[in-house]
Chains A and B, each alone.
Chain A
């Protein structure tokens, strides 16, 4: 039987908010009531000489490219430059159990009753309650207040699986690719869908990094956002790449990925022509990438996320290298990332020793 969470724990000491930025952090003012209790990790992209002003009263660490180079040394080449993919550096250096990452053009949205949405609180609820990846519940999240498992749902599956990822959505400017933006420049997402649901095991999805939270101790090593931006043939596929790797590994480990609430208000529509240039290769390559990820199998002996990830990197090299030499570079970078992860997050924590099978959710 589903039990509802009466009040959401704040998790002040257990969650870091990671924000990539190249411009400014003015958007934080609007988020102050919800974000101020938390430690922020700001990853400054672009020229390190530029000063990013952080509004008063926030507890934060800011890392620019010089810091990335200093901390990672020769391994710094796995962190993208001039692309928000650099945000994954923030996941690397965080010491917390949970991460929430948000873009600097995302603001507080209002629910249909006009109330401000505390996106972070909803993400925490999503992460702390189980997922249901093994059988679809037609009433969506059965652990929400006022909902439950429907008739026909096996009782043995009602304990659910630990939730590794909470993928939030966006009102106003939807996350469309460049061709869709060109065809529908005026479309705004005004539909508030009051649901959280688990994406079934074996199903892939396009993970957007704009409004995303995850259990870093569980799935952190899989959240590598790839090689994008400056000097790379592709952009705007960083979160997609991380999402496909993450979902395949979550499926393998028996963890769940949720999508739906919370909504944020996405204010800025990026230039579709610029986007088209960045995405161009991605649009063609994803036709190969999706079948690749759909048919990917990770050997049973891979019992840690790092091992799963290295396995994936081997198959990327073997099967995608022929699509484009970029994928050989990416496979190398994936290995570098895991090396960096293991160096900065030495084993002994719960993360690297999680055995295959569901961990007990709190």
Chain B
């Protein structure tokens, strides 16, 4: 009787999802095998990645920001040419660098020097020395997305020996949704060949917008000074073929070496606020990007956006290792000590519902830094001040560009 009804319904063209469910719920073996033999499939919309959470990013919406800490960028840019030449490039010259930059032909680029930095931000107390000059690049960019890679990094090769297009991977990460509310054990469910696993709630499968993509490094990993000093010869050879969303409320150390973000939404969270007293030009002698990353994660979590970590890799050359890690210990140690207070602080930050933009969030965080950490170390009160100045500067510069 049931079987006849299924066939009748089919012929009438009236087999809807709801009716299919009813037939299947009967548990009738004949019906189930008929459905199977006819290959009738359920269309459960939430399973398919929905278009509204995926975005399309065009090349002209991206700025590549490069920091020049030494004048000759020729080999760096030649190595990256196939990957970055179709994008607009902002090159920020480290203010202390005197010689002219050497940049090969064929790149659509703009250079910002110390005098530009002075003009734009000289009235603030924010310093843009060393790697921190990249933030000027983020500030003046007029694009929606920024991708930034340190100039001592080259394109990496994957396990098959193919060159990794780090820019395309960052763009893919920002285009596809993030999944911060529940961990997917097969990592990024939007990658080809993967999906959400059994047990992943369907209501969470649309994901949220990804606003920050944190890449990794082969060869020289981003270690701090003590680790560098103890393991000077360690190289990272492990290519982990995964992108994953860092879950909501989980804090992480974001490295500025290989990073991409939605500048329009998250720009206010990237600034050189947390400066160590004797900061040097080596990455292991600074922590300002770690501070930004913690801000960005807190802000992203609050605004309901996602942060991804993993691919793409870049190859960080051993020339990044110049300098004496032991010597840096004296300088970098301060930062390492301060992290003990910084991390619990950010883990405890709760932003008010009224803060609905990154600017408002950063402003709130600055107040909390001042109140809760300001007393313990001048670095914190300076960071709080820098954050407030940055938000004002951001608003000014961006309204001028609008």
A154 touches B339 (CB 8 A): yes
Q: Would you call A71 an interface residue if the criterion is a C-beta within 8 Å of the partner chain's C-beta atoms?
A: no
Taking a contact as CB atoms under 8 Å apart, the answer to whether B187 and A193 are in contact is yes
Partner of A283, one of B202, B223, B237, B340: B202
Asked if A174 contacts B197 (CB within 8 A), the reply is yes
Please determine whether A147 and B236 come into contact, CB atoms closer than 8 angstroms. Answer: yes
Determine whether the beta carbon of A152 is less than 8 Å from that of B240: no
Q: Are B182 and A290 in contact (CB under 8 A)?
A: yes
Q: In the complex, are the beta carbons of A151 and B36 less than 8 A apart?
A: no
Residues on B with beta carbons closer than 8 Å to the beta carbon of A1: 226-227, 230
Q: At the interface with chain B, which of A179-187, A214-222, A350-358?
A: A179-187
Question: By the criterion CB–CB under 8 Å, are B41 and A182 in contact?
Answer: yes
Q: Which of B90-98, B162-170, B283-291 contacts A (4 or more CB under 8 A)?
A: B283-291
Near B by CB (< 8 A), chain A positions 169-211 give: 169, 174-177, 179-180, 182-184, 187-195, 197, 199-208
Residues of chain B lying within 8 A (CB to CB) of residue A200: 246-247, 249-250
B236 touches A139 (CB 8 A): yes
A286 CB within 8 Å of chain B: yes
Residue of A nearest to B32 (CB): A273
Classify the secondary structure of A's interface with B. loop
Nearest residue (CB) in B for A294 is B181
Q: Which positions 47-66 of chain B face chain A at CB distance < 8 Å?
A: 47-48
**What residues on A are CB-neighbors of B214 within 8 Å?**
138
Query: Does B221 make an interface contact (CB < 8 A)?
Result: yes
- Size of interface on B: residues with Cβ below 8 Å to A: 73
Query: Which among A148, A154, A189, A206 is the interface contact of B194 at CB below 8 angstroms?
Result: A189
Say yes or no: A146 contacts B195, CB within 8 Å. no
Which of B186, B201, B236, B342 meets A146, CB within 8 Å?
Answer: B236
Say yes or no: is A156 at the interface (Cβ < 8 Å to chain B).
yes
Complex interface: stretch among A21-29, A93-101, A115-123, A235-243 = A235-243
Chain B residues near A184: list those with CB within 8 A: 195
Q: Is B242 an interface residue, CB under 8 A from the partner?
A: yes
B395 contacts which chain A residues (CB < 8 A)? none
Digitize B333-358: 1 where CB-to-A-CB distance is under 8 Å, 0 elsewhere. 00010011011000000000000000
A136 to B343, CA, bound (A): 11
Instruction: Decide: B250 and A136 in contact? CB cutoff 8 A.
Output: yes
A151 touches B255 (CB 8 A): yes
The verdict on A150 contacting B223 (CB below 8 Å), with A135-B252, A139-B216, A194-B239 known, is: yes
CB-CB nearest in chain B for A240: B199
Interface positions, chain A 128-161, Cβ under 8 Å from B, are 135-140, 144, 146-157
Max chain A C-beta neighbours (<10 A), residue from B185, B223, B250, B255: B185
User: Are A156 and B340 in touch, CB under 8 angstroms?
Assistant: yes
Task: Enumerate chain A residues within 8 angstroms of B196, measured Cβ to Cβ.
Answer: 176, 180
B42: CB under 8 A from chain A?
Answer: yes
Residue A276 lies at the interface, judged by CB distance under 8 Å to chain B: yes
Question: For the complex, what is the distance from the CA of A154 to the CA of B202, rounded to whole Å?
Answer: 36
Chain A interface bracket (under 10, 10 to 19, 20 to 34, 35 or more): 35 or more
Instruction: Answer yes or no: B224 CB below 8 A from chain A CBs.
Output: yes
Q: Is A259 among interface residues, defined by CB-CB distance under 8 A?
A: yes
Task: Report whether over half of chain B's contact residues are helix, strand or loop; otherwise say mixed.
Answer: loop
The answer on a CB contact under 8 Å between B198 and A136 is: no
CA distance A203 to B184 in the complex (A): 11
A266 interface hit (Cβ, 8 Å): no
* Residues A138 and B255 in contact in the complex (CB < 8 Å), given A151-B223, A189-B193: yes
**Is the beta-carbon distance between A155 and B198 smaller than 8 angstroms?**
no
- Complex CA gap A191/B243 in Å reads 12
- Among A135, A137, A167, A190, the one with the most B-chain Cβ atoms within 10 Å of its Cβ is A135
Q: Is B241 an interface residue (CB 8 A)?
A: yes
The answer to whether the Cβ of A277 comes within 8 Å of any Cβ in the partner chain is yes
Decide: B183 and A151 in contact? CB cutoff 8 A. no
- Identify B234's interface contact among A136, A148, A175, A183, CB under 8 A: A148
| B17-51 vs A, Cβ < 8 Å mask (1 yes, 0 no) | 00000001101000010011000011110011000
Report which of B27, B187, B246 forms a contact with A136, defined as CB distance below 8 A: B246
The CA of A73 and the CA of B35, in the complex, are separated in Å by 42
A-B contact pairs, 6 of them (CB 8 A): A136-B246, A139-B216, A180-B196, A200-B246, A239-B199, A276-B42
Beyond A148-B234, A151-B227, A177-B198: 13 further Cβ-contacts under 8 Å?
A138-B214, A148-B223, A149-B227, A151-B222, A154-B343, A177-B197, A182-B41, A183-B41, A189-B194, A193-B241, A204-B182, A206-B197, A208-B199
Q: A residues near B, CB below 8 A?
A: 1, 112, 135-140, 144, 146-157, 167, 169, 174-177, 179-180, 182-184, 187-195, 197, 199-208, 236-237, 239-240, 243, 259, 273, 276-277, 279-280, 283, 286-287, 290
Chain B residues within CB distance 8 Å of chain A: 24-25, 27, 32, 35-36, 41-44, 47-48, 159, 182-187, 191, 193-204, 214, 216, 221-224, 226-227, 230-231, 234-242, 244, 246-255, 283-284, 287, 290, 293, 309, 336, 339-340, 342-343
9 shortest interchain CB distances as A-B pairs: A206-B199, A152-B253, A200-B250, A152-B290, A136-B252, A205-B183, A203-B247, A177-B198, A151-B224
